[in-house]
Amino acid sequence: MRCPKCQADDTKVVDSREAEDGSVIRRRRSCVACAQRFTTYERFEEVPLVVVKTNGQREPFDRAKLIAGVEAACKGRPVTAEQIEQFGEAIEEYARLRGPEIPSSEIGLEVLDRLRSVDEVAYLRFASVYKGFDAAADFQRELVLLKKLQQS
Ligand SMILES: [Zn+2]
């Protein structure tokens, strides 16, 4: 960090503390050359997460929308609201690691992959929406696939 007064490159941190509930680190620095004191702030870079839909349209990632979809799939199933909330967080974390842009299909597959171990019925419901199933045969095929996966 260059000194704002004499432009020397050699400055040292004399104090670091968290501010705004830990989302910001405030550092007091001192210039080794001229002893000028100054303060820097370190904070998260807010990188927007963008979902690329199959038709090429881009939209900001919406966790509430994702959770609504998972909630609908879990309706009447023994899955708690807390589980669904955690599920949404886990998916968002996954998407952020893959981001800043992620295809919606990839999010859908990740949801399916994780939902399978949460609840079989919820998984099939989500799959039916996600994959656009309309025939009973599709469900049947998916069930066979699911059984195979569980056996392996
Ligand atoms: Zn200086």
Q: In Å, how far are 67, 86, 89, 102, 152 from 93, measured between CA atoms?
A: 14, 10, 6, 12, 28
Please tell me the distance between residue 9's alpha carbon and the centre of ligand 1 in angstroms: 8
Please tell me the distance between residue 11's alpha carbon and the centre of ligand 1 in angstroms: 8
What's phi and psi for 52, nearest 5 deg?
-100, 115
Please tell me the distance between residue 26's alpha carbon and the centre of ligand 1 in angstroms: 19
Please tell me the distance between residue 19's alpha carbon and the centre of ligand 1 in angstroms: 25
Please tell me the distance between residue 91's alpha carbon and the centre of ligand 1 in angstroms: 47
Read off the pTM. Answer: 0.58
Q: What is the pLDDT along the chain (152 residues), one digit of tens a residue?
A: 889 999 999 999 999 998 767 778 899 999 999 999 999 888 776 678 899 988 889 999 988 888 998 999 999 999 999 999 889 989 988 998 888 899 988 898 889 889 988 999 999 888 887 766 555 556 566 667 777 776 65
- What residue spans define the domains of the chain? 11-43, 50-151
Please tell me the distance between residue 30's alpha carbon and the centre of ligand 1 in angstroms: 8
Pairing of strands 24-31, 11-19: antiparallel
Please tell me the distance between residue 37's alpha carbon and the centre of ligand 1 in angstroms: 8
Give, for 58, the enclosing helix (H) or strand (E).
strand 58-60
